[in-house]
Amino acid sequence: MAILFALVARGSVVLAEFTGGALANASTISRQVLERIPSGEDSHVSYSQDRYIFHVKRTDGITVLCVADDAAGRRIPFSFLEDIHARFVKTYGRACHTAPAYGMNDEFSRILSQQMDYYSNDPNADRMNRLRGEMNQVRNVMVENIDKVLERGDRLELLVDKTTNMQANTHRFRKQARRFRNSVWWRNVKLMILLILLLLVVIYVLLAFLCHGVTLPSCIR
């Protein structure tokens, strides 16, 4: 399976989780990750542990985390996290902000299991994710090794999603490109007018030479 473990939490309080059993210490490491993520900050971040990647999405105080093989890439795990977050909030609403630990586990662990299987094995999932990736800005998510972070005991350095900055840069680039196109267009218009005027002057000078004067007397007669 591409996705091996998943949980939903409020802060460090786990509300529901499901494991495929391939990674024995996934639950323990996931709790260490939850405890070190600053509260109140929305984020999309990934951390590595051996050949496994811990992907985290925190939005409005609810954290969704999954563990995937590094071969799964980033697109499928983060699409899974967005799907799970939307389903969880839609199902429980404001209750998820006050529920006790594992308060939704009996019901929602089955949904975690179903969606893990879908995103891991159904080819339609990747097809849908590829379409989403073409429609939405691709998130740049960097990876930091969990072992190094936990060994030094420091606060995890969150690698925050760069989407907002990328969108702002794209908007500025489009405005600059539009100004550049307008500038080039006006410059071409002015150049065309100048060439037409120059051509008219050349024609007049040639006629004046052929007609023996600037008033073109011989030609007018």
Give me the DSSP letters along 100-129.
PTTTTHHHHHHHHHHHHHHHHH-HHHHHHH
Q: pTM for this structure? A: 0.57
Residue 112 and residue 15 in contact, taking contact as beta carbons nearer than 8 Å: no
Largest CA distance in the chain: 107
- What does the DSSP 8-state code read for residue 59? E
pLDDT tens per residue, range 95-122: 988 999 999 999 999 999 999 999 988 7
Please name the amino acid found at residue 69.
Answer: D
Q: How far from chain centre, in Å, is Cα 30?
A: 23
Q: Across the chain, what does the average pLDDT equal?
A: 78
Mapping DSSP to helix (H, G, I), strand (E, B) and coil, where does residue 40 land? Answer: coil
pLDDT tens per residue, range 56-93: 999 988 999 999 888 888 888 999 999 999 999 999 99
